[in-house]
Amino acid sequence: MAEERIYFYPVFIRLWHLINAILCLILMITGISMQFSNPKYPLIRFDIAVSIHNIVGILLSLDYFLFIIGNLISGNGRYYKFPLRGLFTNLKLQLTYYTKGVFQKEKAPFLINKERKFNPLQQFTYLLVMYYVIPVIIITGIAMMYPEIFIPATLLGISALHLTDLIHIFSGFVISLFMFIHIYFCTIGKTPISSFKSIVNGYHEVHE
Ligand code: HEM
């Protein structure tokens, strides 16, 4: 008989995830406040928003180390590896399920078991965000904290600081977009709240 509950979320993942989600929300709010700040009516006073953003950015970077090292030691990192062959077809199958099949009570195209923790769409987006976009946002953020050390005056004929800032903001936009879609997709499980329970108690509830 297939298992009904699988222990997928060890303590370090739950701890990392909780801290990461809170810090990302603070970074989004302070980031948006700085981006659209009106000196007369700021959401958060500019200098305060900058200080909070810097401190929280450093905390997020430390938390990211917990994720990377924990993934290496615990073996959770293996769920982020997948073959490129067939990726496009698998992504299409999963997207069709999310946009159509789920409403017609069809079976999920990829069943979750001990070998497969994530469906292809989760695998692809989690890998992209956690192993590419987060490192880019951390590196560009640290570079902008110490521009005199890390950023040359110009690059390819344009201001290198401006370019670094653009990459940083674009990465922030990607992470924000990911977070909203991620939370919506987390409601598609055995019940609308079962994934949220999993990231609290560690156990994934298997469903067809
Ligand atoms: C309030 C915000 C958030 C909520 C409510 C939330 C919710 C969840 C839930 C329910 C899961 C377990 C289901 C699953 O494996 O897909 C999960 C896993 C995950 N979340 Fe989030 N999330 C939030 C923010 C974020 C952010 C900001 C990121 C990354 C920047 C993120 C990245 C991940 C990753 C990578 C996993 C899989 C972790 C693993 O098991 O290896 N989440 N999230």
Distance between CA atoms of 55 and 20, rounded to whole angstroms? 14
pLDDT above 60: residue 146 = yes
pLDDT band at 102 (very low <50, low <70, confident <90, very high): very high
Distance between CA atoms of 148 and 161, rounded to whole angstroms? 10
Which amino acid is it at 8? F
> 42 vs 11, which has greater pLDDT?
11
The answer to which of 117-121, 165-169, 187-191 has the lowest mean pLDDT is 187-191
Contact 33, 43 (CB under 8 A): yes
State the distance from the centre of ligand 1 to the C-alpha of 83, rounded, in angstroms: 22
φ and ψ of 108, to 5 deg = -65, 140
State the distance from the centre of ligand 1 to the C-alpha of 128, rounded, in angstroms: 13
pLDDT above 80: residue 136 = yes
State which ligand 1 atom lies nearest to the alpha carbon of 199.
Answer: 12
Token pair for 199:
């990231």
How confident is the model at residue 43, as a pLDDT? 87
Mean pLDDT of 19-31: 98
Which of 6, 9, 17, 74 has most ligand 1 atoms within 8 Å of CB, for mutation? 17
How confident is the model at residue 69, as a pLDDT? 98
Query: Which residue's CA lies nearest to atom 11 of ligand 1?
Result: 199
How confident is the model at residue 37, as a pLDDT? 77
State the distance from the centre of ligand 1 to the C-alpha of 199, rounded, in angstroms: 8
Secondary structure (3-state) at 173: helix
Length of the chain: 208
How confident is the model at residue 1, as a pLDDT? 52
Which of 186, 187, 206 has most ligand 1 atoms within 8 Å of CB, for mutation? 186
Query: Which residue's CA lies nearest to atom 38 of ligand 1?
Result: 13
